[in-house]
Amino acid sequence: MIKRRIIIRGAVCALGIVALAAAAPARAQEPTHYTYVSFWAVPRAQWTAFEKSQAETNSILEGLVADGTLVCWGSAVALVHTEDGYTHSDWLVSDPRAGIVKTLDALRNVGRSQSLVNTTKHRDVMLHSIAHGGKTARTTSGYIRVAFWEAKPGRGDNVEEIFKKYIQPDLDAGVADGSVLMYNFDTEQVHTDAPGGYNLAVVYAGGDGLDKGAATLAARSKENPAAAEAFGAMIDNEAHRDTLSKVLAFQHK
């Protein structure tokens, strides 16, 4: 989700996820969504204070879901760490860009200055969500897994087609059965990395959802190994990265 040095939330393995057996019927045009993600590197001794300051914004975000400004929001702490990576993240999803900037304006009025000063690194990304799914939920648990890929030159449209045709139907099934609370398939709207990067973020209700998703992908790979090979030909495998984080708070309208 581009060689993004991001540690956010959840998705699926790179080659396995594309190996789905049967093509889905054509989908209606989906509404446009935009996603804003903030990444923070927080010293271990400051985690509790930082997470408390994150929680102080939750009531504001709940109100913005209630009035239609946001589709969903969440925060998470990394479970798989790298020596120079981010430890915490939070995200916002809105139909219009205006909903993102309205939310950012509202959050600037919250007194989090000390907890933010204590961070050692920070980054934001503004994404265009090519596909989004989710169900009404409000939770303080779950997991988010994110997969990042970089399409080879001229292959971006193929990557998007494969996702919508083969991958998205299983994610929609996960939303329907409650194992998946949200998924986003994104590319950068404001380019802070080279064009061509994609990420798939999936919020799972619990650890069982992670296992179910992995089992589904393994089964699909056996059913249609040629699809995985085709996907591998579209992407730069050296740029692929995954992240796994624990959800601290999440809401979807």
Q: Are 66 and 60 in contact (CB under 8 A)?
A: no
Structure token pair of residue 253: 């309208």
Q: Which of 162, 147, 207 is nearest to 4 (CA)?
A: 147
Residue 10 included in any domain: no
> Between the CA of residue 31 and those of 7, 21, 27, 53, 133, what are the distances in Å?
27, 26, 12, 32, 11
Range of the domain at 114: 16-252
Residue 24 included in any domain: yes
pLDDT of residue 189: 96
pLDDT of residue 223: 87
The pLDDT tens digits of the residues spanning 228-244 come to 788 889 999 899 999 99
Residue 2 included in any domain: no
> Between the CA of residue 45 and those of 55, 78, 118, 187, 223, what are the distances in Å?
18, 15, 10, 34, 48
Residue 238 included in any domain: yes
Residue 3 included in any domain: no
CA distance 206 to 141: 7
Write down how long the chain is.
253
- Position 1 pLDDT exceeds 90: no
pLDDT of residue 228: 79
Q: Are 146 and 251 in contact (CB under 8 A)?
A: no
Residue with tokens 């204590």: 118
pLDDT of residue 28: 52
Q: Are 73 and 91 in contact (CB under 8 A)?
A: yes
Residue 9 included in any domain: no
CA distance 85 to 215: 29
User: What's the Rg (C-alpha) of the chain?
Assistant: 17
Count CB neighbours of 21 within 10 A.
12
Residue 44 included in any domain: yes
pLDDT of residue 29: 59
Residue 1 included in any domain: no
The pLDDT tens digits of the residues spanning 61-102 come to 999 999 999 999 999 999 999 998 999 999 999 999 999 999
Conformational region of residue 31, where left means phi above 0, alpha means psi within -120 to 50, and beta covers everything else: beta
- Position 24 pLDDT exceeds 50: no
Q: Note the pTM of the prediction, 2 decimals.
A: 0.87
Looking up residue 225, the CATH number of its domain turns out to be: 3.30.70.100
Cα angle for residues 109, 67, 164 (degrees, 5° grid):
105
pLDDT of residue 244: 98
Average pLDDT over residues 108-122: 84
- Position 196 pLDDT exceeds 50: yes
Q: Are 160 and 116 in contact (CB under 8 A)?
A: no
Q: Are 51 and 78 in contact (CB under 8 A)?
A: no
CA distance 239 to 221: 21
Least confident of 36-50, 136-150, 212-226: 212-226
**Overall domain count for the chain:** 1
Structure token pair of residue 28: 């209606």
Structure token pair of residue 141: 């648990």
